[in-house]
Structure formats: structure tokens, C-alpha cells
A and B are shown apart, each in its own frame.
Chain A
Amino acid sequence: NAGVTQTPKFRVLKTGQSMTLLCAQDMNHEYMYWYRQDPGMGLRLIHYSVGEGTTAKGEVPDGYNVSRLKKQNFLLGLESAAPSQTSVYFCASSYGQGLTQYFGPGTRLLVL
């Protein structure tokens, strides 16, 4: 089992460019999440999905879009990157209520 994987590991973007971050899990989890981690702020939820074909906004959704076309994949898109989106992005998945969320290794994004 690979668990939760994320690609790419690191990316540098210029302001205004777009990109997609890919999260994949092989544990047949229903729930998937995208968080961003910034120094001194812990992790904050961007978007989440409670099943294939469904997505919802989290705490900090502005400037991001997501899609969950397949149960095992959860994509995070930045349509027009801004320096404020420089962060480390983590994907997580779980079976649901009260159960452990498993995290990927993270994607470090730098927007110049």
C-alpha cells in the first residue's frame, strides 16, 4: 500500500500561472481533504470531498478549485496563482467520523 501520495513534491510558479496538484489514495477512503500549512497557523482546510463526484468548501477556499472524478483521486487547482498561496499543501483521506486521517507527504509551492 502506498497510502496517500501527492504530486508534485515541489513547484515554483510565477504570479498568474495555473497548476494542478494531484492527490491519490489506495485505501478506498470515502473522505478526502486538502489543507495548507503556514508557519504558526497549523493546518487549515481548503476543500474537502465526502465521496466521488462531491466537493465542498473548507475554511480557506478562495483562489482554489477541486475535483473528485474518481474515488481514489482528489485534485486541487490554482487558476491564477498569487504570492499569498505560497505554502505547503497536504492531502489527507479517511473512512469518516472519528477515524484517522492519513496524510500525504506534502507539496511545497512557491509563488513568485
Chain B
Amino acid sequence: AQSVTQLGSHVSVSEGALVLLRCNYSSSVPPYLFWYVQYPNQGLQLLLKYTTGATLVKGINGFEAEFKKSETSFHLTKPSAHMSDAAEYFCAVSDRADSSYKLIFGSGTRLLVRP
């Protein structure tokens, strides 16, 4: 069965520093890949997604992610963290062969931004 691993339940960076949140998936056939962000007491909002084509995907708020098939990874990065980036981030996958198109989520990474 498909699974998603997010390394690090908490990541702490200084304001202005690089943000790197890691995500690895388990399937041999690349799935659809998503990153969602959840601010406190809110629902999930799509940051970016990879379905096909260019492997470097740009999203909202300056985030981007690169699909690397050889590493089965889809890590999320941002060159310079801002205080407003503090939130929980979820990597999710959707199996291309699954007609329900459901999402399978990682356990999440909480990003803390230090002033």
C-alpha cells in the first residue's frame, strides 16, 4: 500500500533562513504529489502539486518542491523563511491507478520560525 514519510515532526528555522521539509513516498509508480499547509485552527490549503511535466514545481508564498523519481522524494523548500510561514505542513500522494483519487497523507511537519 502507498505510504508517505515526512522526516521530522518539528523543524525550527530562523527568520530569513532556508526552509527544507522532507517527504518520501513508497510506490514504484510515481503518484500525484501534493503539499498542503494548515494554519492554527484552520483547514488545509494547497501549496503546490506535481502531476506531470516539469519536476520543479512552484507554489504559493514562495515555496517550491522538486520531484525526484530516483529518490522517491518531493521535498518542499523556501529560500527565506518568514514569521508567517509558521504552520503545519502535510505531504500527500494520490495513486494514479486509484479511481477514488483519495489522498494519503504524511504525519505532518510543524514549522517553527524564530525571530
Residues of chain B contacted by A106 (CB below 8 angstroms): 41-43
B23 to chain A, nearest CB (A): 11
Q: How many residues on A have C-beta within 8 angstroms of the other chain's C-beta atoms?
A: 28
A97 near B101 with CB under 8 A, answer yes
Kindly list the 5 A-B residue pairs having the minimum CB-CB distance in the complex, ordered from nearest. A42-B105, A103-B43, A103-B44, A98-B32, A98-B51
Q: Known contacts A41-B107, A43-B90; is A100 also within 8 Å of B101 by CB?
A: no
**Which residue of the partner chain, among A48, A58, A94, A104, contacts B43 with CB atoms under 8 Å?**
A104
Interface range for B: 20 to 34
B49 near A100 with CB under 8 A, answer yes
Q: When chains A and B are docked, how far (Å) is the Cα of A99 from the Cα of B46?
A: 11
**Which residue of the partner chain, among B9, B45, B102, contacts A58 with CB atoms under 8 Å?**
B102
B76 to chain A, nearest CB (A): 15
A90 near B49 with CB under 8 A, answer no
B100 near A48 with CB under 8 A, answer yes
Q: Which of A74-106 contact B (CB under 8 A)?
A: 90, 92, 94, 96-106
B43 near A101 with CB under 8 A, answer no
* Residue B61 is within 8 A (CB to CB) of chain A in the complex: no
A103 near B9 with CB under 8 A, answer no
B100 near A94 with CB under 8 A, answer no
Q: Known contacts A41-B107, A42-B105; is A90 also within 8 Å of B44 by CB?
A: yes
Q: Which of B85-105 contact A (CB under 8 A)?
A: 90, 92, 94, 96, 99-105
Residues of chain A contacted by B94 (CB below 8 angstroms): 97-98
A43 near B96 with CB under 8 A, answer no
B103 near A43 with CB under 8 A, answer yes
What 0/1 pattern do residues 29 to 44 of B give for CB contact below 8 A with A?
A: 0001010100001111
Residues of chain A contacted by B34 (CB below 8 angstroms): 100
A37 to chain B, nearest CB (A): 9
